[in-house]
Structures are given as structure tokens and as C-alpha cells.
Amino acid sequence: MPVPAPRPAVPAVAPLFRPFSVGHLHLPNRTVMAPMTRNFCPGGVPGPEIAEYYARRARGGVGLIVTEGTVVGHPAAAPTTDVPRFHGEDALAGWARVVEEVHAAGGRIIPQLWHAGLERKGDAVPHPQVPAVGPATLSEADIADVVAAFGRAAADARRLGFDGLELHGGHGYLIDQFLRPESNPRTDGYGGDLGGRTRFAAEVVAACRAAAGYDFPIFLRVSQWTVSDFGARLATTPDELYLLLAPLIEAGVDVIDCSTRRFWLPEFPGSDLGLAGWVKKLTGLPTVAVGSVGLDDSEFLSALVEGRGAANASLDRLVESLERDEFDLVAVGRLLLSDPSWVAKVREGRHSELSPFSADALLSLT
């Protein structure tokens, strides 16, 4: 059955519903479902309920779905037993079903490819006898194995019919660990100066590009913060940020997903631009803004700590930034957990029908 065309956007949010294209990926609007770890894949296999979970957001009008982080085929990649794998016949068959159902619902979807690195902690992990790995523990041969695992995953993403892929290069996971001097003590070609610290990430990007082809969009998620330090800084100046990103862009990145906790906060002194705005200005590449989109930030963090929800907030500031082309795409996270039809409701001006974020949404796949 053909997917019905969406209603035209109300004028107040029209910039959010302009089409966008990169490579062969054509999106009907600027909304992205942010990658959110759910831990609902026993043994790492995405089941039918995962396919329906993503298809429901596609039916709700999301322009592009980025899956939760899904780990590449390396023994130390997964942080828990219930995050999805992107390797093995059983897991890949599950992802094929996800793609099929999202496409049938009229959506577009890319997997986020992930290696947890030193954030793999405790014994509740696959292959518990395998220790966590990081920049200090990997030999050059080990690094080549990890790079190859990303390349295989990229080839599988294309084979399964995904619309592109995203590399998780932020939040203090393995790719990000190589980029940061505080987590990368190496003095060889994979450490030391900024050029050395970007080498691993650039090799991962290049391997994915070679495996998936030159018309297959590659997104890269970056962040200043990490899961263990919200105040961490990957780059302290615009020049440093550009020098860090340039080798990755040369290796084949098409879009940069700029993860922040509040998308509107200025990233560097002397400018109102957030991280996504700065990255677009410095590189010329399309960027994704993310961070408390649509949420009442005044109570959001305390609400999470206390197990409460968070109220909806005005989208005026977001729309104004899109009108100025500060960034190109907007990732929405927790609101899409509570309200799979959030995008359609915003497009049609049904703001009174928007569901606030509820902490209960973290506990199910509704």
C-alpha cells in the first residue's frame, strides 16, 4: 500500500520541513531520530519488536532514523549483552527486517556503528573473558582488526539496504578515545600530536568509504562531552576543531552529527553559534544539531535524576536557526520515545497534542 503524502507544514515550522539531500539520500524534511541506546536486543539480535519500534517513527514522519548504537564485529566492542550487534547472520537478518519495515513505512534509516572501547565495563558483557581495549592497549595489528571490522559493517549496511551509515565518534567511546590526549597516551603514529590522534578515526572512515562506495552517505557523530565527563572539551578553539575534523572529512565524511546537551548554547566565545553551527562554518559540510530539542531545559536534567519527565518547549529558536542555515538537520531524541508521532504533530501545528517526555518511555519500546 502506498504511503500517503504528509500534509503541508504550517508556516511557523516550515523551515523544519524543507527537503534535504546528500549523495543518494533524499529526505522529505530536516528531522532526524537521534540514536538512543535501548538495551532491548537480547544476545545482540534486533527482533520484530525493534523493527516495529523504528517503523512507528517512520510512519510518524521522521525524515531520517539513526539507529541506536550497534556494535561492529570485534570481541571487545559491546558494552552490554543487550545492545544490538551489526555482525553475525542472526543480527544482520534482524537488521534486514528493520530496513524493510522502515522503508515500507516511507522512512529512511542508517545504522550507527559503534565500538565502546574503554567504556566496556564489568562482567555483564559478551565475551567477558576479553578485556576492554583502548588506545594504550591496542597494537597496530589490533588497530587494523578494528578498522577492518568497521569496514565489514559498512559493506553490510549497504548490502542490507540501509540509506547510509553513521560512525559513533563521540561521547568518549573508542574512536573518540583516540582523538583526546587525556585518553590517548600513545607516542607512535596513532598518538602524540593532533595529526596522530586523528589517524585511527580517519582510517575507520576511509575503510567504510572503500567498503560502502562513494555514493553512500557517511555521517560522523562528534561531541565535546563524554559519558564520564559532561564538561570535557574535544577542541578548545575553532582552529583546533577544524584541524581535528579536516583529516576525517578528507577520508570521506559527508555529514557531521554534532552532539551537545543543549543545541542553542554558544560553543566558543565571541559568537552565538553552537557546535553544529561552528562545524558547518569551518568545514562547509552539512551538520546535525542535537541537544534538548523541544524540551523544557529548565527542568529536564533534574527531572531525569528524579525519574520524572520533561515538558515540551517552544521550537521558535530552533526554527530561527534553520532559517539562517546555521545547520541542516535536527535530531530529536527522548521526545520521540514518548511520542512516535511528534514530527507529524509539529508539522500540522497540533502542539496541544504533543506528549511530554516521560521517564517511563525509557522502559519500553512503544
Q: Decide: helix, strand or coil at residue 125.
A: coil
**Quick one: which H or E segment has residue 104?**
helix 89-104
Residue 338 lies in a domain: yes
Instruction: Kindly compute the dihedral angle of the four CA atoms of residues 24, 87, 36, 204, in this order, to the nearest 10 degrees.
Output: -60
Task: In whole angstroms, give the CA distance from residue 232 to residue 226.
Answer: 6
Residue 48 lies in a domain: yes
CATH code of the domain containing 284: 3.20.20.70
| Residue range of the domain that includes 47 | 11-363
Instruction: Assess contact for 210 and 151: CB atoms under 8 A.
Output: yes
Tally of structural domains, the chain: 1
Task: In whole angstroms, give the CA distance from residue 357 to residue 97.
Answer: 28
pLDDT value of residue 298? 44
Task: In whole angstroms, give the CA distance from residue 267 to residue 265.
Answer: 6
Residue 320 lies in a domain: yes
Q: Decide: helix, strand or coil at residue 171.
A: strand
Residue 48 C-alpha from the chain's centroid: 22
Residue 5 lies in a domain: no
Taking residue 42's Cβ as centre, other Cβ atoms within 10 Å add up to: 11
Residue 113 lies in a domain: yes
Task: In whole angstroms, give the CA distance from residue 243 to residue 333.
Answer: 29
C-alpha cell at 170: 563521540
What positions carry a catalytic annotation? Answer: 173
Q: Which residues have a Cβ under 8 Å from the Cβ of 342 and sit 6 or more positions away? A: 60, 294, 332, 335, 336, 354, 355
Instruction: Assess contact for 73 and 32: CB atoms under 8 A.
Output: no
pLDDT value of residue 210? 98
Residue 4 lies in a domain: no
Instruction: Assess contact for 358 and 17: CB atoms under 8 A.
Output: no
Q: Tens of pLDDT along the chain (366 residues)?
A: 567 777 788 889 999 999 999 999 999 999 999 999 999 999 999 999 999 999 999 999 999 999 999 999 999 999 999 999 999 999 999 999 999 999 999 999 999 999 999 999 988 899 999 999 999 999 999 999 999 999 999 999 999 999 999 999 999 999 999 999 999 999 999 999 999 999 999 999 999 999 999 999 999 999 999 999 999 999 999 999 999 999 999 999 999 999 999 999 999 999 999 999 999 999 999 999 998 887 765 444 555 555 555 567 788 899 999 999 999 999 999 899 999 999 999 999 998 888 888 788 788 888
Task: In whole angstroms, give the CA distance from residue 83 to residue 322.
Answer: 33
Residue 239 lies in a domain: yes
Residue 6 lies in a domain: no
